[in-house]
Amino acid sequence: MRMGRSERESRTAGRVAALAASAALLLTGCIRQELPQAEETREDILVVGFSEVGAESDWRVANTESMRHTFTEEKGYELLFDDAKQKQGNQIKAIRNYILQEVDYIVFAPVVEDGWDEVLKEAKEAKVPVIVVDRMVQVEDESLFAAWVGSDFHQEGKVAVEWLERYLEEKGRSEEADVSILHVQGTIGSSAQIGRTEELVAGVAAHPNWRILDQVPGEFTQAKSYEVVAEVLERGEVPDVIYCENDVSALGALQALDEAGISHGVEGDVIVITFDAARAGLTACMDGQINLEVECNPLHGPRVEAIIRQLEAGETPEKYCYVEETYFEPGDLTEELIAAREY
Ligand code: GYE
């Protein structure tokens, strides 16, 4: 049920009491999760407007699913969903619509970091709390959003670079031997691209024998990555390493390598590094086609819900909450492990 601001504020007290009485508390990382119990009574439902980046990757689909599974009618939510098709303009429109509709919370996964001050000011003036998820926003005034939850993209990039360093050493590659890297970038200006790119660039700067063969725009999609990697290979340039900024772009790169008859992975000529560790990518890694999968967890629905619960209870959530992640090499993976994962 949608209602005016004052109405919404006055009914909050009742709901908070009901939640406090029936909530089971769980502590995971920096988020305190409150698990509602079946007999919980609610005066009304919470309307959550979610602006999603798009459906560009397996990761993104899993992220959307996580939100849909979390914010269900049975649990007392109405989830409004908008797919921005990777366009910032669409996200700004969606956020404005949510403000007009007087939703209780706006949740959004920003396609890029910059350009949000104006619309977030509008949300603040309308007193609609905003939760940022996945990628970050760079705004002048941090009070424009209540909290952010997502991955540490710099840390992910560091994990990849350090892994490559160890891998080359283990393979007995001399420190003088040239290592050429084809870098397939994600959506330029997005936090996931910025963190993963900056760490690779720093890694190249720290290793005199590493060099970037080319930096190509994969846009976090399989189709675009396939196209740009195929173009590089057509020029006759074969890299030692392909550093793909997400799983589906790695799958596009594999397709281009296969078509060009270039071997890759543990037994092959080209080392393939990627991020996400969603099922299709992990399977290719288990099969030895991909050398390294750095995990990036998309299951943010419950984390966002925990933040909403805190706000509903009048508490202040942590401003930034980073999700813990790991990485996988082919030897770490089994079909059972992949099947047991949620994405
Ligand atoms: O790695 C990619 C998706 O922002 C972490 O976006 C997310 C990235 C993820 O399209 O697959």
Rounded Cα gap, residues 319 and 237, in angstroms: 45
Indicate the burial class of 75 (C-beta count within 10 angstroms; 0-12, 13-18, 19 or more).
middle
CA of 38 to the centre of ligand 1 (A): 34
Task: Count other C-beta atoms under 10 Å from residue 70's C-beta.
Answer: 20
**Could you tell me which residues come within 8 angstroms of residue 64 by beta carbon, excluding any fewer than 6 positions away?**
52, 55, 81, 83
Q: Say yes or no: CB of residue 312 within 6 Å of ligand 1.
A: no
pLDDT at 44: 81
Using the structure block, give the residue that is written with the tokens 């504020």.
Answer: 9
Give, for ligand 1, the residue of 136, 190, 220 to mutate: max count of ligand atoms closer than 8 Å to Cβ: 220
pLDDT at 45: 93
Residue 127 backbone dihedrals phi, psi, to 5 degrees: 60, 35
Cβ–Cβ under 8 Å, residues 116 and 137: yes
pLDDT at 5: 43
Alpha helices in the chain (DSSP H): 5-22, 58-70, 88-100, 117-125, 153-170, 191-206, 222-234, 247-259, 279-286, 301-312, 335-340
pLDDT at 2: 46
Q: Which CATH class is domain 153-296+331-338?
A: alpha beta
Rounded Cα gap, residues 71 and 30, in angstroms: 21
Q: Say yes or no: CB of residue 275 within 6 Å of ligand 1.
A: yes
Selection from 322, 317, 335 nearest residue 296 by Cα: 322
Rounded Cα gap, residues 13 and 298, in angstroms: 32
pLDDT at 32: 53
Helix (H, G, I), strand (E, B) or coil at 129: coil
Task: Copy the structure tokens of residue 253.
Answer: 């790169």
pLDDT at 43: 58
How far apart, in Å, are the Cα atoms of 339 and each of 15, 62, 240, 298, 334?
Answer: 38, 14, 31, 16, 9
CA of 135 to the centre of ligand 1 (A): 8
Identical fold for domains 5-150+298-312 and 153-296+331-338, yes or no, is yes
Q: What is the CATH architecture of 5-150+298-312? A: 3-Layer(aba) Sandwich (3.40)
Closest-lying ligand 1 atom to the alpha carbon of residue 56:
10
Rounded to 10 degrees, what is the CA torsion of 179, 185, 188, 191? -90
Domain boundaries, the chain: 5-150+298-312, 153-296+331-338
Question: For the chain, which ranges sit under pLDDT 50?
Answer: 1-28, 34-42
Helix (H, G, I), strand (E, B) or coil at 115: coil
Write out pLDDT tens, residues 39-79. Answer: 444 458 999 999 999 999 999 999 999 999 999 999 999 99
Closest-lying ligand 1 atom to the alpha carbon of residue 221:
10
pLDDT at 170: 95
pLDDT at 175: 83
Q: Say yes or no: CB of residue 219 within 6 Å of ligand 1.
A: no
Helix (H, G, I), strand (E, B) or coil at 293: strand
Q: Say yes or no: CB of residue 56 within 6 Å of ligand 1.
A: yes
pLDDT at 79: 98
Q: Say yes or no: CB of residue 220 within 6 Å of ligand 1.
A: yes
